[in-house]
């Protein structure tokens, strides 16, 4: 990502056992492999938006999930002024 800023929109559904489902998302640098952010730590059914900012570079996400269905979208941010 060339701006170093992105947001992750996420939703969890269909929790198998109420209160036991988890979604954990980590952002890593594709250049060095180092962790950039612990972006999402969600429990149960829900939704939200997480923001990650770091130096511009390629990123990748690692998703750990248990006991529920999930969906996420990562969108790169831009810098500048709206016209």
pLDDT at 79 over 70: no
Are 68 and 14 in contact by the 8 Å Cβ rule? The answer is: yes
Q: Kindly report the pTM of this predicted structure.
A: 0.85
* Count of other CB atoms within 10 angstroms of residue 43: 15
pLDDT reported for residue 20: 95
Direct distance between the N- and C-terminal alpha carbons of the chain, in angstroms, rounded to an integer: 23
pLDDT reported for residue 55: 84
Residue located via tokens 């060339």: 2
């Amino acid at each position: 990502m060339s701006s170093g800023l992105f947001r992750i929109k996420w939703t969890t559904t269909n929790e198998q056992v109420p209160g036991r489902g988890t979604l954990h998302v980590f952002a890593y640098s594709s250049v060095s492999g180092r962790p950039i952010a612990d972006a999402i730590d969600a429990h149960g059914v829900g939704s939200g938006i997480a923001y990650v900012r770091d130096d511009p570079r390629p990123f990748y996400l690692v998703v750990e999930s248990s006991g529920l269905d999930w969906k996420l979208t990562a969108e790169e941010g831009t810098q500048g002024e709206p016209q």
